[in-house]
Structure 1
Amino acid sequence: RLRPAQVGERAHPRLEAAWRNRPRARGRLMALLRILWRLIVMGFALVVSAIAAMVISAGSVIGAEGMPNLDEPVFELFGKLGLIGIAGVSAFAVLGGPLVLVAALVGEAFRIRSWVYYAFAGGLASAAGLVTLGTEGFIHNQIAAMIASGLVAGLVYWLIAGRGAGFLRDTPR
């Protein structure tokens, strides 16, 4: 039998080893949770930045073509605006999405927290999408509007996730 003074972390060698490894396991769990949280924040920021790009794209189309006829029912008006935005976001996601994902992961891995990096990456992704589509049918104002929507998307991503980038460097070893 153990005396009351012997009950504790030094009573058994196995308990002592488990007690010693406990802070290390807690640190690993916290590092894993931190990485999981950053991935959730990155996904949320990508969705919100895509919505921002959609709003800028729809606004540029409305600005270029003039305001739609307001005598139409509201549902048709919002339907047209929604279709313009959905078309822009789907084209951006398919053509510029891989570049955006690579830029976001590089920013996280190398702890890049500059707004210029994320704005440039968004503009570059939009420009890459335009290059793959071909720029023959576009007017220069439309090209500038698409690149501007990418810049705004990059800035929105930076506001949400880019300022705290660097989960790989912040993990305890």
Structure 2
Amino acid sequence: MNKAELIKNIANQNKIALNEAEIMVNAVTEGIMTSLIENEKLQIKGFGSFEVTKHNNLFELVFKAGKTFNQIINKIDIIDELSNSKGFTKVEVEIIRYAFEYFRPREEEVRNTLDIELIADDIGYEFEEVDAACENLIDLRVLTSFDFGKPCTISLPKRFYKFYHS
């Protein structure tokens, strides 16, 4: 992803104008550069730290990933591992990705369950196909099924919570 794509993503995700997103991205990158030029270590909690070090008369930028950033990377690795090693269908992989994103902790709410109809609408597959794929993922213990008066309610199994709640 380049800077223009980053700006566009930020604008779309936050429903703001492109020029506002560009101002934000420029402010952050300029702040990082200024800090590093002044030989200060910069830490962004959860994301990581930046530091300029000197080796053999050469300056080097060192980035160390933070805890939250590492958890996100590990989550992606788990999704890729699941989708590659178990021979999941395309719709099953989309459901797994959607579930991991949906259950990501947010400050404003805690999400415990997910309606399969919502998944079908959001990922663009027919309900019947998503329902069948979810049943298979439940049988494989990748998803957990709940019966709250809604026959099609799922959640991630507790073994996946460590990616979000550690």
Q: TM-score range by the shorter chain?
A: 0.3 to 0.5
Of Structure 1 and Structure 2, the greater helix share is in 1
Please report the TM-score for the alignment, with normalisation by the length of structure 2.
0.36
More strand by share: 2
Higher RCO, 1 or 2 (CA under 8 Å, sep at least 6)?
Answer: 1
Normalising by the residue count of structure 1, what TM-score does the alignment of the two structures yield?
0.35
